[in-house]
Each structure stands twice: as C-alpha cells, then as structure tokens.
Amino acid sequence: MEKFIIEGGHTLRGNVTVSGNKNEALPAIAACILTEEPVILRNVPRIGDVEILLDIMRHLGATVDELSRNDLRICCRDVKPTAIDPEKSATLRAAILLAGPLLARFGYVKLPPPGGDVIGRRRLDPHFFAFKEMGAQVEVNKHFSISATHLTGRDIFLDEPSVTGTENALMAATLAKGTTILRNAACEPHVSGLVRMLAAMGAEISGIGTNQLTITGVQSLHGADHTIGADFMEVGSYIVLAAVTHSEITINHVNPEDLIVINTTFSRLGIRYEIDDNSVVVPANQKLEVVPDFAGDIPKIDDGPWPAFPTDLMSISIVAATQANGAVLFFEKMYDGRMFFTDYLIGMGARIVLCDPHRAVVVGPSQLYGAQLHSPDIRAGMALIIASLCAKGESIIYNVRQIDRGYENLDQKLQQLGAHIQRIGEC
C-alpha cells in the first residue's frame, strides 16, 4: 500500500497543466467497440480507472497502441463479447459503459456488477430501462445479462439524468434501427465530448449540449480521431488549492465554458480567479469570505445534474469553506455517502456539523492541523490532500491509489508547484 506524506503550511507558486477529462475518456474508450476500424484518442489521462478499462478492452480482444503517453490507437476489429473479469469490474464503475456498445454490435452482453467509489447508492435502472425500451431483454442476478435480436429506436424519458445511463443509451442507439429520442438526458461537458466523438465516427446525433438528444441509427460506424477535453474537476481542484494556501497558480489547458457553474459557487466562498484565453490565474493572498444571501441568511451550496454545481467538487468546496470567514450549508443531493469524509476534517480542527448524510454546516475559518487520514474515494481523497497542504504540521494519507484513479501524476504536479508531498511505498 502506498501513502502520501505531506508537510503543510507552505505557499505554492507556478504553472500546472490539467489532464484530459476522466469522465469523457472512459466512455470514449468503450465507444471504440462500436466500429471495427481503428480509433485514435488523444489527451487520454493515464490514471487508474483508464488503465483498468484498457486492460478489460484488451481481454475482450481490442488492440491498444500507444502513439505517445496520452495518445492511443484502439482497434476493436477482433473484440468478442466474452466474460469480463469480475475483480476488475468490481473496482471500476465505468465497466457498465461496455454494455451499450457490446449490445449494439453483438446483440448480447454479460457483465458482473461494476464497483467504483463507495459514496452511496448508485442506481443502474436508467441503463436497463433504456435498453428494454429499445427492445432488449435484461436479466439481473449475480451478473447482468442483456440481449436483443435487434435494437429499435424509441422515444425514451430517463427517470434521472444519469451521465453513464445517457452515455450507454446513446451508444446503443447509434446502431439501432430508426430514431431514438433521449429526454431528460445528462448534458455535462463530458457527455457532449462523447457526442462529438460519435458524430466523428459517423453517428447522426442532434441536440448536443441539451437534455434532449435525437439519434438516427446508422448501419455502421467508422474510425475517427478524437481529442478528450480538459478535466474541469481537476481545474476546480487547483483553484481551491491555490485559494486555501494563499498561492498564485496558473492552470493551463482549460475550457473556460466549463467553469461557468463552478465560478458561481466558488465566488460565494470568496474565491476569485481570472481567465486568460485557455488558462486560469488564481491570485495569491485571497481573503476568503462567505457571501451571505441577500437577506443576510446563511447561504446554501448544493449540487445536481449539469448545469448545477457538480457533485464531484462538493468535497473540495467543503475544504474551501473551512478556510473562509463565515458559515455555509452544504447540501449533497446526489449521494448519501459523500459527506462522511468530513469526520477527517473535524479531526484536523475544522468546525463542521454533519446534520445528516446529505447536509453539513461549515463555520470558518479554522486552523487545520496535520493528521493521519485515509482516502475514501477519488474526490474526498483530493480534498484531504488540499486540506493537508494548508494545515500546520505533517499529514499521512493512506489508500492513495483511490486518488490515482482520477488524477494523473498528482504528486509530481504538486511538487512542481512547491508542495511538500512524497509518495512512499509500503509492503
């Protein structure tokens, strides 16, 4: 097991370049199954989740060639719908994304239950409902068995705007007979990235960036050259890191349009930054102040499907609030296990009242102190790193492989900014 040893209290400075969006790269890799021709994917983050999915793809028969560290050529000509390793699937939520393309191309898929972060109940019903609406038979027991003689386009209303549910239905619909309309579809930037990739492969899709996608099925798709967009979750993480350590950091390779909803929430915590072309500049020595509601009430920060504030930045925003003057209520609407990491922050000296699994009140600023910590999931792990870097003293964070699943070369990037962080391997 590896761990991070972090000495906090140091000011950081410099430039950092964000990696490709994890949540776009994973469905893009799965979508390569839809064609027998090679697909080139650029700016692929080489993180834990991506490596696991690539291993599964190779096991299915795909050929994966490295054109460079972050550019891959994937050919699925010889892919077969064989059994998927349940151990690998148990560590990867995105394994479910193989269902749509395998079903569309072969008419059958058998998957073990996917795993991933333990942040509460994560329904798969929207996936199965969409497949059944298109004519598939779904059996759920120890494995998920999905089969269809052929898929037929339908008018489908998803009972929740699930990102992976939308992506699975979208990929299945590209080769279905007729027209599929996906209503209440997820419209996050990474979903739009997948739509652009599928369109480059020959899919007929309209409604990109909206919650209604219309897909006219085609007989076959072809190869394409697609670049994964920047990871705006990583951008948000570095913005908060700079703010709470009173550091000046420039973040490169940014899509400014992805930051609109982030800016609205971060500004309520007093966080300021400037956008210069495709870079974000966070000025040093910010005085973080919680902005109350117009009536003087304690403000509420909540999350939701895009264009609401993304749930993946809630943990990091809570750390920011521990360093801001004032009180704020956080309302995590999507997952009933994400808030439990706040026990670690309380142990570091934060003033937080966990009202219930979904709500927490944070009163700041609080001096944080180093502690021994354990990363429970990707985003909470990054939040604990940020807390440790602004704390007094030394922190040790265990289970850092969880963080590696979502952040590429994180310790090296932080070291380049002047952070005192070391990765230590253990037997």
Catalytic residue annotation: 117
Regarding beta strands 372-374 and 279-282, do their DSSP bridges make them parallel or antiparallel, or are they unpaired?
unpaired
Q: Residue written as tokens 């989740």? A: 49
Report how far residue 203's alpha carbon sits from residue 226's, in angstroms, rounded to the nearest whole number: 14
Q: Please give the radius of gyration of the chain, using alpha carbons only, rounded to the nearest integer.
A: 22
Strand ranges across the sheet with 300-302: 300-302, 326-331, 359-364, 351-356
- Decide if 259 contacts 25 (C-beta within 8 A): no
CA–chain centroid gap for 28, Å, is 13
> Contact, 393 vs 372, CB < 8 A?
no
Cα separation, 285 vs 283, whole angstroms: 7
Task: Output the CA torsion 151→154→160→163 (10° steps).
Answer: 50
Cis peptide before 161 (omega within 30 of 0): no
SS3 117: coil
Q: How many residues does the chain have?
A: 427
Amino acid at 187: C
C-alpha count within 13 angstroms, C-beta hemisphere, residue 65: 7
Placement of tokens 């009536």 in the chain: 295
How many CA atoms, within 13 angstroms, populate the side-chain half-sphere of residue 11? Answer: 9
